[in-house]
Amino acid sequence: MLPGFAFEGKRVDTLPQGYGQRFSKQQIEADLAFMVHAMENAHPNLYHSISKEQYSKLKDSIVAALKDSMTRDEARPSFVKMIAAINEGHTTFRNSLEFVYDINEAKKPVFAVMMESFDGQYLVVKKDYSPNATLQAGDRVIKINGHRVDSLVNRMTGYYGGLPQWRQALVIEALMIDLYRDGVRAPFDVEYVNGKERKKARLEGLPLQALMQAARGNQPVKIPFTFERLENNIGYLNFRDMDRMYKQTFDTFLLKTFTAIQQQPVNGLIVDLRENGGGDSELGDNLLQHITDKPYRMSGGVVWKISQEYKNYIGKMDSAHQASMTHYTERKNGEFLTGGDNAPEKPEYNGLRYKGKVCFLIGNHTFSSANMLAATVMDYKLATLIGEMSGEAPNDYGDIFPIKLPQTGMSCMTSSKQFLRPNGDKNDMNPVLPNIYVKQNAATNEDEVLQRAIQWVKQGK
């Protein structure tokens, strides 16, 4: 599935005002300084992975390398380096208007081969959507336009923050975007291994919208959550999205699903979080209310920094949201709001609660609020976790908001809150780890993680 993060920014139907505008070194330097200052004000612990002194030296080296007269896209790598050095998955730099226009409106062709994984040396092909599709699933790509893929991946992971597996997952999903940004353009001369034979192919590109359509095929737009019965009457709940806009829909979904399970019991329940990049943790809490009666909490504490930057963000919300945020806006900048560290609580009675076997599937794309849900399951042993490690540590940062830069008009996203993992261990910086580790084999179409979960339900081990 193509990643949503690669297409931030509004759709631009006409040539953006200032398209191709050039900026002086002083303007770029001013925006870098503005960005760092704003993040220092808003982020609860900006220098958690790099010291302020090291960060300042990095900024000085980046400024020294700036050229006079740069476009937004030429300047963007400098901002990206600063953002990536923060080393967290939620703090990111957004695409320029020029890039959005080139990709969405000018329909510039991008690399149209979707990858399954990176094995440290090769990119493993998932599907070739090129107009002259040549590569087959499982083929191993060695070079693209003369660039070794191991060098490409190693460089591109430096564009993102967070745990190594999360950064690598982003590169695999956003490969077509990062290649275009790095000047690796169509046509694409690809060297690859098919079986034991080394081959070459020249592939045409596709406009991004066409690639998205080809990848989606006849499938409907991603449904945020579904339930079905698998072999041996095993329930399978695929929980793909926790966006707060689905709250009421999810409540209805849970009522319908667990009513059906009560009327026609399943032999076990598998909850899949592998595609879930997060959203509102309340949806995860609602799910847990239906599968456990053990005491738990979803957070060991929250620290929320008061800043003028976040107050300005609140000021752009509708009046109802602004009215609900007075507990924040009336506090002094620089203060901290803390909470969420209540003792674990036993869920209230739920007549639809399922009392059978439950396991959760997790992986590198289990992120943010979905990661919080998986961490709750892990810390309080609410179910068995199967798959790969999650995409971030439960002790992490979030509740992101945009910061617009005054000179170039580009923007970044940064965190305003720090979250502690449910058990309160602030020193554990590991991701959520599965009880049963299963790595998907890129060379097979079988969902090996799901099959292992089915085996666990049947055999209990």
Cβ atoms of 178 and 101 within 8 Å: the answer is no
CA atoms of 306 and 327, how far apart (whole Å): 10
| Claim to verify: residue 332 and residue 414 sit in the same structural domain | yes
Q: Which pLDDT does position 360 carry in this prediction?
A: 98
Distance of alpha carbon 359 from its chain centroid, rounded?
A: 22
| Claim to verify: residue 65 and residue 151 sit in the same structural domain | no
Question: Which ranges of 339-409 would DSSP assign to H, the alpha helix?
Answer: 369-379
Residue 453 lies in a domain: yes
By residue range, what is the domain housing residue 113? 109-168+175-216
Residue 16 lies in a domain: no
Q: Which pLDDT does position 218 carry in this prediction?
A: 62
Give the CATH number, domain containing residue 366: 3.90.226.10
| Claim to verify: residue 315 and residue 334 sit in the same structural domain | yes
What are the structure tokens assigned to 2, written together? 């193509």
Residue 50 lies in a domain: yes
Q: Which pLDDT does position 355 carry in this prediction?
A: 96
CA atoms of 207 and 210, how far apart (whole Å): 5
| Claim to verify: residue 70 and residue 114 sit in the same structural domain | no
| Claim to verify: residue 189 and residue 64 sit in the same structural domain | no
| Claim to verify: residue 208 and residue 231 sit in the same structural domain | no
**Cα distances (Å, whole numbers) of residue 236 to 46, 224, 227, 246, 373:** 40, 14, 6, 19, 17
| Claim to verify: residue 289 and residue 421 sit in the same structural domain | yes
What's phi and psi for 37, nearest 5 deg? -60, -45
Cβ atoms of 267 and 232 within 8 Å: the answer is yes
Residue 78 lies in a domain: yes
Q: Which pLDDT does position 442 carry in this prediction?
A: 67
| Claim to verify: residue 151 and residue 237 sit in the same structural domain | no
From 104, 134, 151, give the residue that closes a domain: 104
Cβ atoms of 186 and 109 within 8 Å: the answer is yes
| Claim to verify: residue 267 and residue 135 sit in the same structural domain | no
From 65, 80, 104, give the residue that closes a domain: 104
3-state SS class at 14: coil
pTM value?
0.84
Task: Please give the tally of structural domains in the chain.
Answer: 3
Instruction: Centre a 10 Å sphere on the Cβ of residue 74 and count the other Cβ atoms it contains.
Output: 15
From 104, 122, 143, give the residue that closes a domain: 104
| Claim to verify: residue 256 and residue 314 sit in the same structural domain | yes
Residue 192 lies in a domain: yes
Cβ atoms of 102 and 177 within 8 Å: the answer is no
Residue spans of the chain under pLDDT 50: 1-10, 12
**Cα distances (Å, whole numbers) of residue 412 to 96, 98, 432:** 11, 16, 27
| Claim to verify: residue 242 and residue 207 sit in the same structural domain | no
What's phi and psi for 383, nearest 5 deg? -165, 175
Helix H or strand E segment including 35: helix 25-42
CA atoms of 278 and 301, how far apart (whole Å): 18
| Claim to verify: residue 57 and residue 95 sit in the same structural domain | yes
Give the CATH number, domain containing residue 200: 2.30.42.10
Residue 13 lies in a domain: no
Residue 291 lies in a domain: yes
Residue 133 lies in a domain: yes
